[in-house]
Amino acid sequence: MNVPEPQNAAIEPERKSLHASEPEHETGELVIEPAYERLDEVRALIIEYMDWLATEQTGLDECLARQSYDDELDHLGRKYGMPQGRLFVAHFGGPAIGCIALRPMPELPEQNACEMKRLYVKPGNRGHHIGKRLVQRLIEEAREAGYECMYLDTLPVLRAAIAMYHSFGFEDIPRYNDNPIPEAVYMKLEL
């Protein structure tokens, strides 16, 4: 099943001076593939992402502690493993430049619910629709796996990501987890 393009394909992540005008990559096409053979690269991307977020958002340390962050990093393949989970990496034929994950949510009242986690694209590769391609792939995989709805939580500082999620049809919802950051944004997509 194909996922439609976001409603507003013109939405781009905010560019800052550290972003390159062209993606930093080897020559070649963007590849999004299962990351189970590249777990060290995914682990490094997630650490880079969390380090950046910690500079932008107070309270992140408590949030990560509640999410068993260290255990997650040690067991990425188990937490996001198939058949119910997914873990993808994006690259241009070389080092990983982005990642995204999906996990089942059996603790929610809806049957067949999943959660999007750990979407990250390296700063030098932002602004080229890589995040959108990762989200699109994850939505397709969630549908193929039989999930009926997808949840996510994010931070208000990630305005471009929130706009992108809305463009895919995600809607704002009340809190669904124990994220300790009071400003956290909660979203849901019916698949």
Residue pLDDT, tens place only, 92-138: 999 999 999 999 999 887 779 999 999 999 999 998 999 999 999 99
What is the extent of the structural domain holding 160? 31-190
Number of domains in the chain: 1
Residue 128 is part of a domain; what is its CATH number?
Answer: 3.40.630.30
Flag whether 172 is in a domain. Answer: yes
Supply the mean pLDDT for the chain: 84
Higher pLDDT residue, 96 or 11?
96
Alpha carbon distances (Å) from 181 to 57, 61, 63, 103, 184 = 9, 10, 7, 21, 6
Q: How confident is the model at residue 52 (pLDDT cuts 50, 70, 90)?
A: confident
What are the phi and psi torsion angles at 110 (to 5°)?
Answer: -70, 140
Phi, psi of 142 (to 5 degrees): -65, -40
Kindly state the DSSP code that residue 149 receives in the 8-state scheme: E
Cβ–Cβ under 8 Å, residues 27 and 99: no
β-bridge mates for residue 163, sequence order:
none
Comparing 5 with 9, the larger pLDDT belongs to: 5
In a domain, 86, yes or no: yes
Residue 117 located in a structural domain? yes
Peptide bond just before 23 cis, omega within 30 deg:
no
**Assigned domain for 14 exists:** no
pTM over 0.85, yes/no: no
The answer to whether position 1 is within a domain reads no
